[in-house]
Amino acid sequence: MPPKTAIQTLAKFAIDFNQTPLAGEVGHHAKRAVIDWFAALYPGLGTPAVQVLEAALVDDLNRGDSRLANGRVATVRAAALIHGTAAHAAEVDDSFREAMYHPAAATIAAALAAAQAVNANGQQFLRAVVIGYEVSTRIGVVMGRAHYRYWHNTGTMGSFGAAAAAAHLYGLNEPEFANALALVATFTAGLQQTFRSESMAKPLHAGRAAEAGILAAQLAKQGMLTSLDILEGESGLGQAMSTGPDWSNIGATLGQDFHITRLTFKNHIGCGHTFPAIDGALGLQDEHGFEAKDIDRVDLGVYRPALDIAGHANPKSADEAKFSLHYMVASALVFGSVRLSAFEPDRLNDPLTRELMSRIHAKLDLEVDAGFPERRVAKVGITLRDGRRFERLQPDRKGDPELPLSDADLEGKLIELAAPVIGQAQAQALLVRLWNLETSEDLP
C-alpha cells in the first residue's frame, strides 16, 4: 500500500535507504558536507551567542552521553543545541539554494550528538547525514518562497533534517520515523525579524532546530503519536507557514536525485545573498585591474531577499556587516576577499571601505528576482573616476554547484578556520579522519 501522507512518504524513503549501499558519489558528498560543517563550527564556538548559551545550559554540561568539540561532555540535546548554534554563528555554513536553507548546521549537529550517544560508527553517521539532508531539503523546496518571506528556513526546515538524522541513528522503525517527522513539524520556528536588526540570536534558530530534532526522535522512540498529515492538513505546516503548497510529488526523486550532491559551500563569510554581487565586483576588478580608490560608483541589481535580508546600508557591528550588501561588496573591493578578518573592528571602520559604501547603489532587478531561488544572480556595474564603466552579469556564486569549491578548496577552508582554534596539526589530523569516515569505527 502506498504511503498516505507526505510524512509517510519521507519516512518510507528513510527506512528503505537503510537497505541500499551508500553510493560512492553520495558518500563523498556527505563527507564534503561534514568537512564544511566542521569548518563552520570552530570559528562559531567562541562567538558571544555560544558563550551565552553554554552559560545558560550549565546544568546540561559535564554530564551526558555526547561531547562538544571543545572537549566538554554534554547531554545529547545540549550538544545538538550548542553545536547547531555554533555551526551557524560565523555565517560560513553550507546551503541548498532551492530550499533557501542551510542544512548542515542543525542536521549534522543532531547527527553527531545522537551518533555519540548510541556509539555509532562513521558509516552510520554519514548515512544519517544523507537522510537528514534529503528529507529536509524536499520539505523546504515544497514550502517555497512564500515560506521564506517571514520564516528563517534554517530554523524551520533544519528541524526536519535533525529529526530525520536522529531517527535513523536511534533505529526508529517506519511508523516511529514518521511520527518523529510529524512531531518536529510542530516545533519548527525561526523568524527573520531576528536578524533584520542588531541581534546575536540568529544562530539559535539552527541550534534549536537541532535540539528539536533530537527531542522529536526521542519522543517517537518512546511511543509518542501525532497527526501524520501535519504537512498537508488544513491546519498543517503548508497552510500555516506557506500558501497551500502541493505535496503530491515530494517523493518523486527520492533515492535518485540526491540533493546532498548539489550543495553550495560558502567562499566568503557572511550572508550568501551578498555573494553574487561580491563575485561580480571582484570579477570586474580582476578583469580590468582597477583599485577601490578608482571607483566613482557601483550599481547592483539584485533579487528581493538580498535587499530585505542584507539591507544594512550603514552597519554598526560585525553582525550587521555580515548582512550588508554595501559593506560586503565594498570590503571585497578594498581588500580582495571577505574572510573572518573583515569583521574585526579596524576593518569594519576602515575609511576607504566606509567611503566606498556611500557610492554603492543597490536596487531590485525584476529579471534577476524572477530566477530566485533556483539561481542566485547579480548585475554589477562599476563606473570609474576616469569615466570608464564596466558591467557584468554574475549568474552564479563561487561555491554553487555550477562553480563548485573543489575538495582542495574545502580542505583549505577547514584548515583556515579550524587551525586558529585547535592548532594546525590537530586540524590536519581531523581532516584525515573526516575523509576516512566511511571505514572508521570512531566518530570525529
Domains of the chain (ranges; CATH) run 6-267+407-439 (1.10.4100.10), 272-394 (3.30.1330.120)
Q: pLDDT tier at 2 (50, 70, 90 boundaries)?
A: low
Share of the chain above pLDDT 90, in %: 96
Closest CA to 244 of 231, 257, 256, 254: 231
Cell of 422: 585547535
Question: Does the pLDDT value for residue 196 go beyond 90?
Answer: no
Element (H, E) at 131: helix 122-148
pLDDT of residue 222: 98
3-state secondary structure of 299: strand
Cell of 106: 542543525
pLDDT of residue 277: 98
C-alpha dihedral sign at 428, 432, 435, 438: negative
Q: CA-based angle 30:34:36, to the nearest 5? A: 115
Element (H, E) at 393: strand 389-394
Question: Does the pLDDT value for residue 207 go beyond 70?
Answer: yes
Cell of 382: 562599476
284 vs 20: CA distance, rounded Å: 47
Mean pLDDT across 261-271 = 97
Q: Which residue has the cell 534558530?
A: 205
Element (H, E) at 83: helix 76-89
Mean pLDDT across 163-183 = 98
β-partners of residue 301 are 363, 379
- Do residues 105 and 47 lie in contact, with contact meaning Cβ atoms separated by under 8 Å? no
Give per-residue burial for 181-203: e unless 16+ CB within 10 Å, then b: bbbbbbbbbbebebbeeeebebb
Question: Does the pLDDT value for residue 23 go beyond 90?
Answer: no
Q: pLDDT tier at 394 (50, 70, 90 boundaries)?
A: very high
pLDDT in tens, 216-264: 999 999 999 999 999 999 999 999 999 999 999 999 999 999 999 999 9
Amino acid at residue number 128: A
Give per-residue burial for 296-334: e unless 16+ CB within 10 Å, then b: eebbbbbbbbbbebbbbeebeebbbbbbbbbbbbbbbbb
**Count of alpha carbons within 13 angstroms of residue 127, beta-carbon side:** 24
Backbone angles phi, psi at 189, to 5 degrees: -160, 175
Neighbours of 66 (CB within 10 A): 23
Question: Does the pLDDT value for residue 61 go beyond 90?
Answer: yes
- Averaged confidence pLDDT in the chain: 96
Cell of 224: 509518542
Mean pLDDT across 112-137 = 97
β-partners of residue 264 are 95
3-state secondary structure of 364: strand
- Do residues 75 and 60 lie in contact, with contact meaning Cβ atoms separated by under 8 Å? yes
314 vs 358: CA distance, rounded Å: 9
CA 230 centroid distance within chain? 24
Mean pLDDT across 306-335 = 95
pLDDT of residue 160: 98
